[in-house]
Amino acid sequence: MTTPPPNAAAFSCPLPLSTRAEIQIAHGGGGRLTQELIDTIFAPAFRNAALDARHDGAALVLGAGTGKLAFTTDSHVVSPLFFPGGDIGKLAVCGTVNDLAMCGARPRWLSAGFILEEGLPVETLRRVVASMAEAARAAGVEIVTGDTKVVERGKGDGLYVNTAGVGVIERDVAIAPASVRPGDIVLLSGDIGRHGMAILAQREGLAFESPIESDCACLWPAVEALLACGASVHCLRDLTRGGLATATIEIAEAAQVELALDEGAVEVTEPVRGACEILGMDPFYVANEGRFIAIVPEADAEGALAAISSHAHGGPARKIGIVREAKRPRVTLRSVVGVERILDRLSGEQLPRIC
Amino acid sequence: MTTPPPNAAAFSCPLPLSTRAEIQIAHGGGGRLTQELIDTIFAPAFRNAALDARHDGAALVLGAGTGKLAFTTDSHVVSPLFFPGGDIGKLAVCGTVNDLAMCGARPRWLSAGFILEEGLPVETLRRVVASMAEAARAAGVEIVTGDTKVVERGKGDGLYVNTAGVGVIERDVAIAPASVRPGDIVLLSGDIGRHGMAILAQREGLAFESPIESDCACLWPAVEALLACGASVHCLRDLTRGGLATATIEIAEAAQVELALDEGAVEVTEPVRGACEILGMDPFYVANEGRFIAIVPEADAEGALAAISSHAHGGPARKIGIVREAKRPRVTLRSVVGVERILDRLSGEQLPRIC
């Protein structure tokens, strides 16, 4: 019998939600507690086929012969509102555009719902709105409808913004965890960990020799190139809250497979690696806002890599792992010295309010 | 020269937004300051045809021969979360369903974005979600995608929820202020003032002999019957923030006409009238969440009245006014004793956080 790592049980087996009385910060972290909230409260109440697919957005069928739409939403509560490489406005547009892209949908229209705190400088709102407009233009989407509410001082935090998005699924694709097959290759579009560490460095007032900029970017051009290259795309996922580890765990569980990743193939820049070491963070769990994984058949992997790399940010895309049959779904990570470990969902909150 | 009413200038000519430094509660009230925010910040930045139409939702054209979609969003910050006749969950579903209905669109799909405050009782979330699910079932819509964020204690107020909605415009309609013509008739679907006064009575701990229940309800069945009856529907508008007065002023300004309303034709129940008198409110400016006006040609008015009344709440529907040509767009209200006055936009905030 081996000794379990200290506190492993405490972290990996939190109380079920039914025995918790109050919402905790970690319920918004994208990890185990967020999943529990979805499983025990939202999914049973709202049950329908689109929601049950558990993707970044819903695929909607208008009627016979009319094609499919994608529909998604994200609220943004990032703190601070402005950070190296972006701000809450750019983040809100890119985040929703990226969720549509992950459905294989061309992003077309966004809504914008603002919750403003009394006393917010009008100039701050103006800067955020200008940033949203610029990001929308760059992504080729229109912000076509909106809403503004104002809450009293101390009932908000400057500015929260919700963006919902509608996109058009133009090709006959089945991009979903259920399409993932053993033998498929896992591709990653660039380096990881920048967004979360940029926010954290800004928030903590840390100064590094090379400042870390968020990777916040619109992923549709890379996805459009990928779809156009003829590769059969089985699954796409952007690596937001919970990072690469959480995204791959969600896919492994939904597809009932093992994703075997190769740590040495995953690029983490030196500034991000250094900041993670100082702050005790694991870059595999740090949020990104402009990176995604694509899972494709082995025969299509080289073409897919070239297509993604033609529009990728943060370096060429890389093969980072393969899909294996598995009795129990899991994600394994082989280190550079050949040791294999299992990646598990975070139960707590690593970085609150990073998006 | 007549003497202006005291303080009229101070109330009717607030400083333009460019000279204000901070967001005020009234920027979220749906009155003059909200309009200023839209005109000076959102509309110039996001400019596009759908947004410029200034309707409750955007009409989207997918492509040649594919029909039109409606898309809308609302954030909900109502306080308290639960009130006589409804709660924030029912309000969020009905509010977005109603905005789609006002575009003449069959409501189909909703998103739900939650911003939860750390410490919110899980049981509160469960009740709100159950109420949303029930309202969605009753309205025939599916909640197909969602998002949850958690903010620290003191950075929210229990629970805010954004709903965005997508509907299908099944008939070839042009429901918009631009379609309104002199000679058209203004129809109102029921009594006014209940939602705002229900919230205010609850918030202030006022007990009336007959408690006031919110009129919160889904308006699609009445709109569907109206569209099906063959009436040519020129404009629809639900009477939310700012009430009947603000809704009609917006239409008069957009259509460049006068709406001449008859005060005696507008039903205000005794409990609402009494509460308004005690609290110094004008029921024409109080928010409703289940009432709308329809503007139709005179020849179609009787048929339209019957169709709306067959599904109206708080009701029968009534003719409350006519559309007249006007050099300056305005809304006039003829009192029961025959005195005519002009309804003006509120510059301040009458009832913060009623939706």
Task: Measure the CA–CA gap between A245 and A331, rounded to whole angstroms.
Answer: 8
What pLDDT score does A214 carry?
97
What pLDDT score does B287 carry?
95
Mutation target vs A (from B38, B39, B73; most A CBs, 10 A cutoff): B73
Same domain? For A97 and A151 the reply is yes
Query: Which amino acid, residue B232?
Result: S
Please say if the pLDDT value at position A64 is more than 70: no
Could you tell me the pLDDT band of residue B346, with boundaries at 50, 70 and 90?
confident
Pick from A72, A44, A46, A68: nearest CA to A58: A72
What pLDDT score does A12 carry?
37
Mean pLDDT score of chain B: 90
Instruction: Identify whether the C-beta of residue B160 lies closer than 8 Å to the C-beta of residue B81.
Output: no
Could you tell me the pLDDT band of residue B349, with boundaries at 50, 70 and 90?
low
Same domain? For A141 and A214 the reply is no
Place of tokens 């333009």: B16
Instruction: Identify whether the C-beta of residue B35 lies closer than 8 Å to the C-beta of residue B345.
Output: yes
On whether residue B352 sits in a domain, the answer given is no
- Taking contacts as CB-CB distances below 8 angstroms, the residues of chain A near B148 are 27-28, 34, 37-38, 42, 75
* Residue in chain B lying closest to A152 (CA): B25
Same domain? For A336 and A196 the reply is yes
Last residue of a domain, one of B119, B139, B169: B169
- Tally Cβ neighbours within 10 Å of residue A168: 18
Could you tell me the pLDDT band of residue A61, with boundaries at 50, 70 and 90?
confident
Last residue of a domain, one of B30, B52, B74: B52
Phi, psi at residue A294, to the nearest 5°? -125, 135
Burial class (CB in 10 A: 0-12, 13-18, 19+), A335: exposed
What pLDDT score does B97 carry?
98
Mean pLDDT score of chain A: 90
Mutation target vs A (from B115, B162, B351, B355; most A CBs, 10 A cutoff): B162
* Residue in chain A lying closest to B123 (CA): A21
Please say if the pLDDT value at position B9 is more than 60: no
On whether residue B79 sits in a domain, the answer given is yes
Distance from CA of A76 to the nearest CA of B (A): 8
Encoding tokens for residue B39?
């005109």
pLDDT single digits (tens) B183-205? 999 999 999 999 999 999 888 88
What pLDDT score does A266 carry?
98
What pLDDT score does B113 carry?
97
pLDDT single digits (tens) A109-129? 999 999 999 999 999 999 999
On whether residue B354 sits in a domain, the answer given is no
Range of the domain at B84: 56-169
What pLDDT score does B15 carry?
54
What pLDDT score does B56 carry?
76
Contact check, Cβ <8 Å, B150/A26: yes
- Tally Cβ neighbours within 10 Å of residue B1: 3
Last residue of a domain, one of B139, B169, B199: B169
**Range with the poorest average pLDDT among A3-12, A217-226, A296-305, B234-243:** A3-12
Kindly state the average pLDDT of the residues A331-353.
Answer: 89
Kindly state the average pLDDT of the residues B154-159.
Answer: 97
What pLDDT score does B8 carry?
32
Cβ partners under 8 Å of residue B174, min gap 6: none
When divided into structural domains, chain A yields a total of 3
* Residue in chain A lying closest to B147 (CA): A74
- Taking contacts as CB-CB distances below 8 angstroms, the residues of chain B near A50 are 109, 142, 144-145
Residue of A27, A66, A144 lying closest to B148 (CB–CB): A27
Could you tell me the pLDDT band of residue B66, with boundaries at 50, 70 and 90?
low
Residue of A21, A45, A152 lying closest to B129 (CB–CB): A45
- Tally Cβ neighbours within 10 Å of residue A204: 11
ipTM of the complex model: 0.92
What pLDDT score does B62 carry?
76
Query: Which amino acid, residue B246?
Result: T
Please say if the pLDDT value at position B209 is more than 80: no
On whether residue A77 sits in a domain, the answer given is yes
Same domain? For A198 and A114 the reply is no
On whether residue A191 sits in a domain, the answer given is yes
**Range with the poorest average pLDDT among A280-294, B16-30, B209-223:** B16-30
pTM metric for this prediction:
0.92
Please say if the pLDDT value at position B10 is more than 60: no
Contact check, Cβ <8 Å, A117/B71: no
Q: What is the CATH number of the domain that holds B333?
A: 3.90.650.10
* Residue in chain A lying closest to B130 (CA): A45
Distance from CA of A29 to the nearest CA of B (A): 8
pLDDT single digits (tens) B19-55? 578 999 889 887 788 888 889 999 999 999 888 877 7
Please say if the pLDDT value at position A146 is more than 60: yes
Contact check, Cβ <8 Å, B21/A50: no
Kindly state the average pLDDT of the residues B274-278.
Answer: 92
Same domain? For A191 and A339 the reply is yes
Please say if the pLDDT value at position B13 is more than 50: no
What pLDDT score does B1 carry?
33
Please say if the pLDDT value at position B231 is more than 60: yes
Residue of B24, B77, B154 lying closest to A115 (CB–CB): B77
Radius of gyration of chain A (CA): 20
- Taking contacts as CB-CB distances below 8 angstroms, the residues of chain A near B164 are 73, 111, 113, 162, 164
Same domain? For A48 and A80 the reply is no
DSSP B211: P
Same domain? For A17 and A90 the reply is no
pLDDT single digits (tens) A292-303? 999 999 999 999
Query: Which amino acid, residue B220?
Result: W
- Residue A335: strand, helix, or coil: coil
On whether residue A351 sits in a domain, the answer given is no
On whether residue A348 sits in a domain, the answer given is no
Kindly state the average pLDDT of the residues A233-245.
Answer: 95
Greatest mean pLDDT among A81-85, A168-172, B4-8 lies in A81-85
Same domain? For B33 and B64 the reply is no
Task: Measure the CA–CA gap between B178 and B336, rounded to whole angstroms.
Answer: 30
What pLDDT score does A249 carry?
96
Could you tell me the pLDDT band of residue B260, with boundaries at 50, 70 and 90?
very high
How large a percentage of chain B has pLDDT more than 70?
Answer: 93
What pLDDT score does A317 carry?
95
DSSP β-ladder status, B235-238 and B318-324: unpaired
Distance from CA of A93 to the nearest CA of B (A): 12
- Peptide bond before B16: cis, by omega within 30 degrees of 0? no
Contact check, Cβ <8 Å, A46/B146: yes
What pLDDT score does A15 carry?
54
Contact check, Cβ <8 Å, A41/B73: no
On whether residue A200 sits in a domain, the answer given is yes
Mutation target vs B (from A62, A91, A131, A147; most B CBs, 10 A cutoff): A147
Interface contacts (A, B; CB < 8 Å):
270
Residue of A28, A133, A162 lying closest to B75 (CB–CB): A162
Task: Measure the CA–CA gap between A155 and B200, rounded to whole angstroms.
Answer: 19
Could you tell me the pLDDT band of residue A66, with boundaries at 50, 70 and 90?
low
Same domain? For A250 and A337 the reply is yes
Same domain? For A223 and A303 the reply is yes
Mutation target vs A (from B123, B145, B155, B355; most A CBs, 10 A cutoff): B145
Could you tell me the pLDDT band of residue B2, with boundaries at 50, 70 and 90?
very low
Q: What is the CATH number of the domain that holds A144?
A: 3.30.1330.10
Distance from CA of A352 to the nearest CA of B (A): 8
Phi, psi at residue A95, to the nearest 5°? -60, -45
pLDDT single digits (tens) A29-46? 877 888 889 899 999 999
Please say if the pLDDT value at position B107 is more than 80: yes
- Taking contacts as CB-CB distances below 8 angstroms, the residues of chain A near B76 are 149
Same domain? For B12 and B74 the reply is no
Same domain? For B332 and B270 the reply is yes
**Residue A181 Rama label (left phi>0; alpha psi -120 to 50; beta):** beta
What pLDDT score does A204 carry?
83
Please say if the pLDDT value at position A14 is more than 50: no
Could you tell me the pLDDT band of residue B57, with boundaries at 50, 70 and 90?
confident
